[in-house]
Structures are given as structure tokens and as C-alpha cells.
Amino acid sequence: MRSHSQTDIDDLYLFAQLVAEDAEEASDLLVRALEARKKGNRLLPSDLIQSLSGDRLAGGGAWLARRQVPDVLEELLPRLLTRFRPSRRIALVRAFRDTEGGASDRQVFLISVRRALESDGLTSVAHRLTLETLEESMRRYLNTQMADVPEAIRDSWIEANQPAEAPSQPRQRRFPLPARIAAGILVILLSAAIGSWITSPDKTSNTVRSELFDTLSNLDAGTPEFRAADAEQIERYLADRLDWRLAIPVLQEGLIEGVSVAELEGDLSVPVIHYLDQSMETEAHIFVLDYRFLDSARQLYAVDAGILNQIAESGNADVRNAPDFFRVTWRFSDDIYVAVSSQADPEMRSRFRFE
């Protein structure tokens, strides 16, 4: 059972927290109240704290308000994380556990959390939310809500990995020489076939054809037909609309706004992903093509073989800085991504990331 003095100090600190602006001020009020007790002040704890705070703190209580943020995040974080695909969840947790890196991922997630709070009608909480508070809440969530490794699995693994005499290394198995030669010839033939396709001249036409990539760069992308901020939602939409399964990149220091379909000549159409580029304070678009589309487009447009040669190797990109547009083209898997912006950004390709 607590003594009277223990109850008194607890009550004093309780009422100090209700009126203080921060933890330091609450502690200062408590110390002053205890000094008043030594001098014989016998007011009720609530009255004593009120007398010490005076009108100086009228209308205050900012600390009390800020302490609402962690409580709201405790309920919001698991609900928000379930909306992301598994790879995105892993990337976020890595970003919050790695204090030296992942700054952009943390910043983008902060924007997402604020938007979720505003959607729930908690605008005041969203305005108080800082990156430091979000980091603390994420760490607390991971430490308290994530289960420990099951003891049975841990014990079994430890037992199976006790130090033991290293077994002799088995001789590495090698394929027979004829099989290795055949594989090498196959690689050469495939490389030659791909190179021939990329560098093959366009079919002749009786009319002057516009260049495909420049046409896309100058195309008015309009507004999104389907608005969504989540890449996975857009991927599902395109799978239903165009029967096309492709990966949608996220833009660091930017937001996905939605998707539309751009109509070209000859009933050709390509999906357009709309982004808000916050770092450049402008909009950006990505047109997504595949090689089947290029085969059809060659009948109506000139296709720059130099661009195709540049992006033939995965990881390379073609960058064009024209007076009217800035364009970056690259290949990911079997799809070609053409990012267009009105502002030149040498780092644009690295800012688009696939989860």
C-alpha cells in the first residue's frame, strides 16, 4: 500500500501533466510543489498545482495534446501497413531500423501517415506529427507487437548448429564439356537475334512518320482516369482494363496520383502513370510500353534504334534533355518505361524505384 506522501507526489505530478507544455515544465511544477509542501502548504494537490501554474499557462496543455499522437499511431500503423504489399512493408521496416539510410522511404511514409490521419478526420494530429515521433512509434510497434521467434524453432536451430567438425568439401559438379559448348553457342545465337531485332531498319512507308518517343514526350497526358496513391491498386486496375500485368514504380520525394490510357494513331494505346514530383515542384508521367507494342507501332511511327540499343542491357537508361521536355527511358523486365517531366532532373531514373 502506498503511503500518504507517495500518493501526494503522484497526484501532484498527475495535475502538473494536465497543465504543462512539456515534460520539463511538469517536472519543474512538481519540484516547486514539493518545496511548497516543505514550507507547510497543505492545499489539495489539484489546487496547489493550479496556484503554481497561474494564468501563465491558460489555454496551454500542448504536451497533453502531443501525447495524443502516439496513441493514435498505435492504432493506425498496423491498419496502414496492411494496405502495402509484403515487399513494401519489409522496405519500410528496414528504413526505420537503419538510422544511417532509408531517409527518403521514411519521409514518404510520413506523408502517407499524415494523409491517412487527415482522411480519418484527425487533421490536428496530422499537423503535430513529426518524423521523430513516427520513428519512435514504429520502433515501439516493432518491439511490442512483433512476436518473438518460437522457442521450439530457436532451440531446434541452436541444437542443429552446434560447432562440429567441418565435413570435407564435395567436389563441385561440372556439366560435361559438350553441354557447356552447346550452352555457349545458344547464348551467342540469342544475343545475335536480339541485336538483329533492335538494329533492324524500320519498314519503309510512303508517308513521313513521327518519332515514337518524341511523340510520347510531347503528348498531353491529361488527368488520371483512375485516381489512386498505391502502386498495387494501379497494377490491379491495368490488369483489369488492359489485361497487362506490369510493375508500377514509386517516386522518391513524390506521390502517385493515378493512371490513364493515352490513345495514339492506329488504335494504339499505352498506360500513363501520373506522379506529383514534390522535389521539382511539378508533375511527371510515365508511359509504359512493351515489345509487342513496338512491333505494332513500327507500322505508324519511326522508332529510335539508338534508344533501344541504349536500354538493351538492364540497368541502362537513355536521357534526353530537350527544350520542351526532359525524358528518361529504361527497361525493367520486359517493359519499357518512358518518364517525362517539364523540369530537368539528372537523378530522375534513380528516384523511380520498384518495390
What would the pLDDT profile of 114-146 be if each residue is shown by its tens digit? 888 888 888 877 877 888 888 888 888 888 777
What does the pLDDT read at residue 351?
92
In eight-state DSSP terms, residue 334 is T
Percent of the chain with pLDDT over 70: 80
CA–CA dist 42, 226 (Å, integer):
67
CA separation, residue 292 to residues 16, 133, 194, 217 (Å): 70, 49, 14, 20
- Band of residue 250 on the pLDDT scale cut at 50, 70, 90: very high
Q: Strands 317-321 and 226-227, how do they pair?
A: unpaired
Within the chain, how many helices (H) and strands (E) appear? 16, 9
Question: Which element (helix H / strand E) includes 131?
Answer: helix 131-145
Q: What angle do CA 268, 271, 276 make, to 5 degrees?
A: 145
What would the pLDDT profile of 67-81 be if each residue is shown by its tens digit? 667 778 888 888 888
- C-alpha count within 13 angstroms, C-beta hemisphere, residue 79: 9
What would the pLDDT profile of 96-111 be if each residue is shown by its tens digit? 877 666 777 778 788 8
- Band of residue 36 on the pLDDT scale cut at 50, 70, 90: very high
CA–CA dist 130, 110 (Å, integer):
8
- Please, what's the largest Cα pairwise distance for the chain? 105
What would the pLDDT profile of 161-216 be if each residue is shown by its tens digit? 776 555 555 555 555 655 655 556 555 555 555 554 444 444 443 445 789 999 99
* AA letter at 170: P
For range 326-335, the mean pLDDT: 90
pTM (whole model) above 0.75: no
- DSSP string covering 24-80: HHHHHHHHHHHHHHHTT----HHHHHHHHHGGGGTT--HHHHHTHHHHHHHHHHHHH
For range 243-262, the mean pLDDT: 89
Judged on CB neighbours under 10 Å (0-12, 13-18, 19+), 129 is: buried
Alpha helices, DSSP H, located in 209-338: 212-217, 231-242, 291-297, 305-311
